[in-house]
Structure 1
Amino acid sequence: MRTPAITATALSALVLSACGSTPAEPDAEPSGKSDDKSVVLLTHDSFTLPKEVLAEFKKKTGYTAEIRHAGDGGELTTKIAMDTGNPDGDAVFGVDNTFASRAIDEGALEAYTPSKVPAGVSEFDLPGDEEHFLTPVDNGSVCVNIDTEWFAEKKLAPPESLDDLAEPAYKDLLVAPGAATSTPGMAFLLATIAEYGEDGWESYWGKLMDNGAKIVDGWDQAYYSDFTQGGGKGARPIVVSYDSSPAFTVKDGKSTTKALLDTCFRQVEYAGVLKGADHPEGAKALIDFMLSDSVQGALPESMYVFPVSSSVKLPADWAKHAEQPAEPLSVDPEEIEDNREAWLATWSDTIAQ
C-alpha cells in the first residue's frame, strides 16, 4: 500500500468490495433452524468483519451471528424479494440504493428504527423510506480516477469533469467496467444519467465511445489490466473506480492517483430486518450493532467503504487521500427501479454501435 501498485493483500480485499463475487471465507452448511440465541445475517459475498468484532457482538448481546452469503448486491436483493415472508435469515445487509426500492416494494422487510443512531447516519437515509425499513451502514462513491503521474509525465492537463472525457485530448484514455456486468459500471451509467438527464445521457455515451472509451466486463479487469496505476501493464490513465482508491496508491506519502469528485455517484449499503424472521429481536440487535463504533471503525479496512457514522476516525491514509464528494450525483431509487432494464438496453445498444 506504500507503492504505486497496490499490494496483493489490499488488492484482494478491494476486488471483493468492487466485484462482490468471492466470499471472504466459505459458509458453513446450514444445520436447520438456528437456536434462539443465533441470528442469521444474509449478505453479499464481499461481506467480512474481523472475528474480534463478531465476538464483541456475542459478548454484548448474547447472540451469535451466523453469516450466509448470497451473491452480489443485486442477487441478494432478488433473493430476499422472492423469499418474502419465508426468508433464509433474520437480517439482511448489503442492499444498496440502486436496488433498495425493490426490497421495500416486495414487502421483504419489517420497519425498524435502531435504538441509538450515531451522528451523521441520517444523511444517508433512503429517500422515501419514511417507515424506516432500511438502515444505512456504509457508503462509497464510484468516481472517475486518473493517474496523476502519467498526466504529469505527458505534460497533459488532466480531465476534471464528465464533459472532459469526451474531448479529443483524452481519446483512447478511458476504461470503464460495463453497466450490465458490474455494480461500479452501473453506478457510472447512473452518474451520466444524473448529469445529462433522460434526453442527454445516450448522446453523451455515443461521444464517449467515439472518443475511444474501452468497456470491459468488470472493475478488476478495468483497474488491474487496463489502468496505468493498477499494478500491471495497463495503457489507460483514466478509469472508473472509487473515491477510496487513491488511499491505495500511496508512494512516499503522496497518492499517485486522484478521484474526480465532480463525476461521482454515491452508493449506500443498508441493513434491515427480514419479514418472517425466526429471531427478529436478534436481527434488531445486529442492526444496532452495525452502527456501533466497533463495526463502523472496521469498515474501511475490512470492506474498503466509508462508515456512515461521523463519530469514528478514518485510517490515516484514508483521512489524507480518500476524499469524498461534497455533492455526489444521484438518481431517485424509485426511478432506478422503474427504468433500470430500459436504461441498460439502451446503453448496450449505444456501446455496440
Structure 2
Amino acid sequence: MRIQVIAAALAASALPALADERPELTVYTYESFVAEWGPGPIVKDAFEARCGCALNFVAAGDGAALLARLRLEGDRTDADVVLGLDTNLTAAAAETGLFAPHGRDDSVLDLPVGWEDPLFLPYDWGYFAFVYDKTRLPEPPASFEDLIAAPEDLKIVIQDPRSSTPGLGLLLWVKAAYGDRAPEIWEGLAPHILTVTKGWTESYGMFIDGEADMVLSYTTSPAYHLIAEEDYTKAAARFDEGHYLQIEVAGIVASSDQPELAQQFLDFMLTEPFQSAIPTTNWMYPAVTPANGLPAGYETLIRPETALIFPAGEAAEVRDEALAEWRDALSR
C-alpha cells in the first residue's frame, strides 16, 4: 500500500512537468475573441486536442492595437500567430516585414469577393452597420445623410479608428461612399457622436445600457440577441449608400519558433470545428460555410445591396487622409 501511495505521489508530481513540456503556440488576438462567450475557449479546447500543444491566447485590444503592439515588439515578440487584423490593415502589416507566407490552400474560402494574399488568411467576414433598438428608435436613419438630418438628441457611439478595426472601417465606409464629400459628412455627424471609445466592447456596452440610440457594429450583431437572448428588439439599419465589408484574417509571425505549429493552426482555422463556432460566438459570417449552413436566425439579417470595400493597398493609401478628415471634424 505504501509503495502504491508513493508511486501515485510521484506520478502526480510529474504531471506539471509533462504539461510544461508541451510545445506552446502564442496567438495575439482581440479581447472579444478570447472572452468566455467568444470563440477563444472553443478554439483552444479543439485545437489542443489535435495538436498535443498548449494554445496561449493573448488579448491585445482591437485589430489596430494588435498591429501597434506587434510593431513595438518587432522580432522580439512572443506571438507566433496574429489573429484579428482586417483588409484595412493588411497592407500596413505586410510592410513591417514581420509576417511569413502562410502557404495554405485558400480555394475553400466562401467570401463575397475574391481572395489572393500570400501572408494573410481569412477566418470570418461581415458588414459594418449601425445597430439600434426597435422599441427606442422605430424609424432609424436609412443613410448617413438621414443620420445627419436627424434631431441632434439622436446619439451614436463609435470606436476610435486608431485602435479599433470597426472604427477604421467606419472611416473607410464614409470615404468609399462619399469620396471628396467625406469631410462634409463628418462635420454633419459630429453633433450626433456621444463619445468615441477605444474598442468595440465598451461602445456596445454603452448602447445596451441605453446611453446611445445607435452603435457602430455589424449587420450580424442582432443575431446574438435573437439566438442567445431571444430578444427581437435589436436590428441593423440598412443604409442606402451600401455597407463596408470587413474581412478578418490571421497571419504567421516570421520570427515564430513554432512555424510548423503555426501553419497547423491556420489549417485548423478553416476546418469545421473552428468555422462552425464563428456564427454563434464571434457573430460574424464564417470564411468557410459549415456543412449544416448558418444557424437559424441569420436569414433574418439585412444583406446590403451594395458592398463597399477598398483593396488592401488602396485602403492603406486613403487611411491617413480619412483619419485627418475625421479628426478635424470632431475637434471643432
Listed as ranges, the matches of 1:57-72 within 5 Å are 57-72=47-62
Instruction: Give the alignment partner of residue 98 of structure 1, picking from 84, 88, 96.
Output: 88
The answer to whether the Cα contact below 8 Å between 2:22 and 2:54 also exists between their aligned partners in 1 is no
Listed as ranges, the matches of 1:28-67 within 5 Å are 37-48=23-34, 49=39, 51=41, 53-67=43-57
Structure 1 residue 83 displacement after superposition: 4.3
Are the structure 2 counterparts of residues 286 and 179 from structure 1 closer, same or farther at C-alpha, using a change threshold of 3 Å? same
Residue 187 of structure 2 corresponds to which residue in structure 1? 206
Amino acid at match of 1:139: W
Instruction: Give the alignment partner of residue 239 of structure 1, picking from 196, 215, 226.
Output: 215
The answer to whether the Cα contact below 8 Å between 2:172 and 2:322 also exists between their aligned partners in 1 is no
* Cα shift readout 1:193-229 (whole Å, capped 9, x = no counterpart): 11000x11001112233xx41240225565444x4xx
Q: Secondary structure at the match of 2:185?
A: helix
Q: Secondary structure at the match of 1:150?
A: coil
Listed as ranges, the matches of 1:152-231 within 5 Å are 152=138, 157-167=139-149, 169-180=150-161, 182-197=164-179, 199-209=180-190, 212-218=191-197, 219=200, 222-225=203-206, 227=207, 230=208
Are the structure 2 counterparts of residues 193 and 107 from structure 1 closer, same or farther at C-alpha, using a change threshold of 3 Å? same
Q: Normalising by structure 2, report the TM-score.
A: 0.78
Give unpaired runs (5+ residues) of structure 1.
1-30
The answer to whether the Cα contact below 8 Å between 1:81 and 1:102 also exists between their aligned partners in 2 is no
Residue 272 of structure 1 corresponds to which residue in structure 2? 251
Size of the aligned set, in residue pairs, is: 303
| Distance in 2 (alpha carbons) for counterparts of 1:349 and 1:220 | 25
Residue 98 of structure 2 corresponds to which residue in structure 1? 108
Are the structure 2 counterparts of residues 35 and 99 from structure 1 closer, same or farther at C-alpha, using a change threshold of 3 Å? farther
Q: Secondary structure at the match of 1:302?
A: helix
Residue 234 of structure 2 corresponds to which residue in structure 1? 257
Greater helix fraction, Structure 1 or Structure 2: 2
| Distance in 2 (alpha carbons) for counterparts of 1:264 and 1:120 | 19
The answer to whether the Cα contact below 8 Å between 2:275 and 2:289 also exists between their aligned partners in 1 is no
| Distance in 2 (alpha carbons) for counterparts of 1:337 and 1:116 | 23
Residue 316 of structure 1 corresponds to which residue in structure 2? 296
Q: Secondary structure at the match of 1:141?
A: strand
Q: Secondary structure at the match of 1:146?
A: strand
Are the structure 2 counterparts of residues 122 and 81 from structure 1 closer, same or farther at C-alpha, using a change threshold of 3 Å? farther
Q: Secondary structure at the match of 1:255?
A: coil
Structure 1 residue 82 displacement after superposition: 4.3
Structure 1 residue 40 displacement after superposition: 2.4
Structure 1 residue 117 displacement after superposition: 4.7
Residue 121 of structure 2 corresponds to which residue in structure 1? 135
Amino acid at match of 1:300: P
Listed as ranges, the matches of 1:75-94 within 5 Å are 75-94=65-84
Amino acid at match of 1:141: Y
| Distance in 2 (alpha carbons) for counterparts of 1:293 and 1:314 | 12
Amino acid at match of 1:39: L
Are the structure 2 counterparts of residues 191 and 116 from structure 1 closer, same or farther at C-alpha, using a change threshold of 3 Å? closer
Are the structure 2 counterparts of residues 113 and 326 from structure 1 closer, same or farther at C-alpha, using a change threshold of 3 Å? farther
| Distance in 1 (alpha carbons) for counterparts of 2:308 and 2:151 | 22
Are the structure 2 counterparts of residues 44 and 35 from structure 1 closer, same or farther at C-alpha, using a change threshold of 3 Å? farther
Residue 149 of structure 1 corresponds to which residue in structure 2? 135
Listed as ranges, the matches of 1:303-342 within 5 Å are 303-312=282-291, 313-317=293-297, 319-342=298-321
Structure 1 residue 256 displacement after superposition: 1.9
Amino acid at match of 2:49: K
RMSD value, Cα: 3.1
Identity over aligned residues, as a percent?
Answer: 27
| Distance in 1 (alpha carbons) for counterparts of 2:54 and 2:230 | 41
Q: Secondary structure at the match of 1:283?
A: helix
Are the structure 2 counterparts of residues 334 and 254 from structure 1 closer, same or farther at C-alpha, using a change threshold of 3 Å? same
* Cα shift readout 1:293-336 (whole Å, capped 9, x = no counterpart): 1011112333333211123533323x244444353322233233
Residue 6 of structure 1 corresponds to which residue in structure 2? none
Are the structure 2 counterparts of residues 123 and 292 from structure 1 closer, same or farther at C-alpha, using a change threshold of 3 Å? farther
| Distance in 1 (alpha carbons) for counterparts of 2:147 and 2:67 | 33
In our comparison, the structure showing a higher alpha carbon Rg is 2
Are the structure 2 counterparts of residues 71 and 56 from structure 1 closer, same or farther at C-alpha, using a change threshold of 3 Å? same
Amino acid at match of 2:122: P
Give unpaired runs (5+ residues) of structure 2.
1-16
| Distance in 2 (alpha carbons) for counterparts of 1:144 and 1:43 | 24
1:284 and 2:263 matched? yes
